[in-house]
Structure 1
């Protein structure tokens, strides 16, 4: 481990870290992609005598940044003392990286953080930690919506053991996109929407994870817990001191069957309806040990039509926002290639994709990007993750988006 001190004044608040932060002894403080939302987080570490460092050996980007900074200082004939004490900043790393390369968060770490939070509802720090999780997801969906969708759809389809946390994050992300891009809701509603989506199932987080891995039918006790979880989650939040009425009522009513236009509804009931549609859509896309996942078109259709078989305003907004073929899903092309959807397109059925398996049925050595609006690369069908025997490296695909 080759630790180099970081100039703390150059760490960008509200932006994903381009590197992991460690102490001078190598203890991990924040993983790459973590979002520091307040300067007080940094002063908390430094006030305890910690020197914030990065491991130069852990990343080629950091090595290039460090060496480049040294060369720059030598060429400008800076004093020897300055050169010896050189510190690298995030801006130095950004210049050393490939042009316009997006920040790629550690999604496994984010999954684990969300899972730990939602299973630790008795902690006094639950609400502050929830604020930080929401802020991190909000930044990601604002600045990297397609990459965020890709990661969460992919993880929902391939990792069942942390189902509840991944599901909650995915529901917030698709709701946030629909609210902002289609329904034109005010930014002030996003925090209420996000916290309601993340906490709607806190009374049954462990049970949800258990059911994802359970092949047998639900027991009577499990059915009762599922049926009562909305009210119990509402009661838990109330006991924690949550006093935002819209957040509380959205959680309490997020399983209500309440078709109809959104405009006449209160903010709380509009949020609840949007979450209800997204909850249904995301659940159908995710496999369980006891059942296969549903094709995206079928999952979308279930969300698109309401309980009266009419077009649902909230469900239609979700489809317009994320597309029929959502980033993270796998598809077959007219060219007989198998590809992963990486970016939404000009309409809901023509996304951009990266080819995983060529027309000869062989894995591709390099990612080939296709525009499915072109007839020769038109999407002809959906492919389940279980049917593709190619290991998808999440970080390398996210770097393309």
Structure 2
């Protein structure tokens, strides 16, 4: 058995992989049987993948020591939702036990790589998980959500995989000094106390200090955390930096942070509709954010971000599941018919067609249908 580098001729959209695929570091990327569904997946396999070649056919049995035939077991397909859930769980363990983690830097980078691979495998499912799979504590989940959005924007800016991994590591660790208090702050309905305001104001500096103490000394990584609450006009914190002094990756984290916070419900307010969140950032903070970057966010996330609940012109209710021909005409999987009756199987609609155009965006509680992400995207979205 030997390792061989993946080539263009080895991978085709719509075909299952014939081998377990490993990265150059020996870590398993994809199992045999995974169906390649888009060019992003091919790109990551060509850049990072090596497969194990074997003389044994993929459907042929092996023979054990007693001469019995052992047939290949059914291969479990990778699930982006499960990968993201695993990152959330492992990030929580790492973050709340940072002082006891002997290899904290390495562990953050491993989690960053897992997040990037999950997002590259199916960015629609990764984005959908932000709105449709809100399990676990808010504080850690928020950091992972910010990382997913930041990956898509960084990729659109043609940043290298290496830079994106460190950007994701910064997203995952940006609030590490206040994670335990963040759940409490999330649930507050009254004004913040002076101590709570000070905690928020100083958390970029304190997070950097904690990471340094844990062995993280990467200048760029720490700088992006330190600056992710600075504003274009110098009104941010902790250094009141102006636009030219704020790293672009810190600006990406900042906008992703604001977007993900707006689409999450708080005890004192309802979540903003995803379609309105970025517009709200433009209106409420147009002097504080990089408007060109916000425009890129809108382009990448769409006018109707994936995971949004919508009502169509014909009365059907559904979920946005992928981009369409234009920014305003995504594909939607409808969950109910025009009279509100649940469908046995979601049906895909092209909202470019007049009958299936989007009439309005809905909050989750307006769609009284029980469903799972796998009903919309299949095995890659198994929970």
Q: TM-score range by the shorter chain?
A: 0.7 to 0.9
* Cα separation, 1, equivalents of 2:131 and 2:331: 16
Task: Tell me the alpha carbon deviations over residues 300-327 of structure 1, each in whole angstroms, 9 at most, x when there is no partner.
Answer: 1133465428871111111111112111
Q: Tell which deviates more after alignment, 107-116 or 315-324.
A: 107-116
Question: What does residue 29 of structure 2 align with?
Answer: 15
Question: What does residue 303 of structure 2 align with?
Answer: 324
Count of aligned pairs? 325
* Cα separation, 1, equivalents of 2:277 and 2:158: 24
| Equivalent position to 2:321, from 342, 358, 372 | 342
Alignment of 1:177-188 (within 5 A): 177-181=152-156, 183-188=157-162
Q: Unpaired runs of 5+ in structure 2?
A: 1-18, 34-47, 49-57, 235-242
Question: What does residue 171 of structure 1 align with?
Answer: 146
Alignment of 1:123-142 (within 5 A): 123-142=101-120
| Compared CA separation, residues 221 and 359, structure 1 to 2 (3 A) | same
| Compared CA separation, residues 218 and 17, structure 1 to 2 (3 A) | farther
Alignment of 1:19-168 (within 5 A): 69=59, 72-73=60-61, 84=68, 86=70, 88=72, 93=75, 103-106=79-82, 107-122=84-99, 123-156=101-134, 159=135, 162-168=137-143
Task: Tell me the alpha carbon deviations over residues 180-236 of structure 1, each in whole angstroms, 9 at most, x when there is no partner.
Answer: 12x223333212211111111111112222222333433332222112111111111
* Cα separation, 1, equivalents of 2:72 and 2:119: 28
* Cα separation, 1, equivalents of 2:358 and 2:137: 31
* Cα separation, 2, equivalents of 1:338 and 1:83: 57
Secondary structure of 1:399's partner? helix
Task: Tell me the alpha carbon deviations over residues 277-302 of structure 1, each in whole angstroms, 9 at most, x when there is no partner.
Answer: 11111110111122100122321113
Secondary structure of 1:339's partner? strand
Secondary structure of 1:202's partner? coil
CA drift of 1:16 comes to 4.7
* Cα separation, 2, equivalents of 1:172 and 1:205: 16
| Compared CA separation, residues 218 and 284, structure 1 to 2 (3 A) | same
RMSD between aligned residues: 3.1
Question: Are the aligned partners of 1:352 and 1:369 in contact in 2 as well (CA < 8 Å)?
Answer: yes
* Cα separation, 2, equivalents of 1:105 and 1:16: 15
Question: What does residue 383 of structure 1 align with?
Answer: 362
* Cα separation, 1, equivalents of 2:98 and 2:63: 54
Indicate yes or no: 2:270 matched with 1:288.
Answer: no
Question: Are the aligned partners of 1:296 and 1:325 in contact in 2 as well (CA < 8 Å)?
Answer: yes
| Compared CA separation, residues 131 and 145, structure 1 to 2 (3 A) | same
Secondary structure of 1:293's partner? coil
Question: Are the aligned partners of 2:150 and 2:256 in contact in 1 as well (CA < 8 Å)?
Answer: yes
Question: Are the aligned partners of 1:278 and 1:303 in contact in 2 as well (CA < 8 Å)?
Answer: no
Question: Are the aligned partners of 1:304 and 1:319 in contact in 2 as well (CA < 8 Å)?
Answer: no
Alignment of 1:225-240 (within 5 A): 225-240=199-214
Q: Unpaired runs of 5+ in structure 1?
A: 1-8, 20-37, 39-67
Q: Tell which deviates more after alignment, 147-156 or 272-281.
A: 147-156
| Compared CA separation, residues 82 and 151, structure 1 to 2 (3 A) | farther
Q: Tell which deviates more after alignment, 220-229 or 143-152.
A: 220-229
Question: What does residue 43 of structure 1 align with?
Answer: none
Task: Tell me the alpha carbon deviations over residues 10-60 of structure 1, each in whole angstroms, 9 at most, x when there is no partner.
Answer: 5744425589xxxxxxxxxxxxxxxxxx9xxxxxxxxxxxxxxxxxxxxxx
Question: Are the aligned partners of 1:169 and 1:198 in contact in 2 as well (CA < 8 Å)?
Answer: yes
Secondary structure of 1:302's partner? helix
CA drift of 1:366 comes to 0.6
Give me the TM-score of the superposition, normalised by structure 1: 0.72
